[in-house]
Amino acid sequence: MAYSEKVVDHFNNPRNMGSFKKDEEGVGTGIVGAPECGDVMKLQIKVQDDKIVDAKFKTFGCGSAIASSSLATEWMKGRTIEEAGKIKNTEIVQELNLPPVKIHCSVLAEDAIKAALNDYKKKHGKSE
């Protein structure tokens, strides 16, 4: 099955690829993996005054996983912590036109968002 145009675009021009220092002020890090395919995804956010001012990702996996995390960072930027927590994998599936066999990639991205937010909250004394 061919990848959708949007997946190819994110794959060829990934947005916000890279990483922050883990212990930097305001940074939250989420590292998750998909046991089915062995993909590993790292997603980081930088928060100022409850707002996500920057986001970065590094994903080692298939095109769909890379596109899902790239899209996730785009969507998270500019949102508040609370708003970012509402991003659902189904929205990623829709936006990227993911086929059923690649839905787990979007789930992985949602898990990574949650993990990064939780890490930020934990570090900054805000329990879930």
**Cβ distance to other proteins smaller for residue 6 or 58:** 58
Q: The tokens of 101 are what?
A: 């066999």
Contact positions toward other proteins, by CB under 8 A? 31-33, 35-40, 42, 58, 60
Closest Cα partner for 65 from 100, 108, 18? 108
**Cβ distance to other proteins smaller for residue 58 or 77:** 58
Which residue among 17, 34, 37, 107 is the active-site one?
A: 37
- Give least dist CB 46 to other proteins, A: 18
Q: The tokens of 70 are what?
A: 């790239």
- Give least dist CB 111 to other proteins, A: 9
Burial environment of residue 57 by CB neighbours within 10 A (0 to 12, 13 to 18, 19 or more):
buried
Q: List, by residue number, the catalytic residues.
A: 37, 105
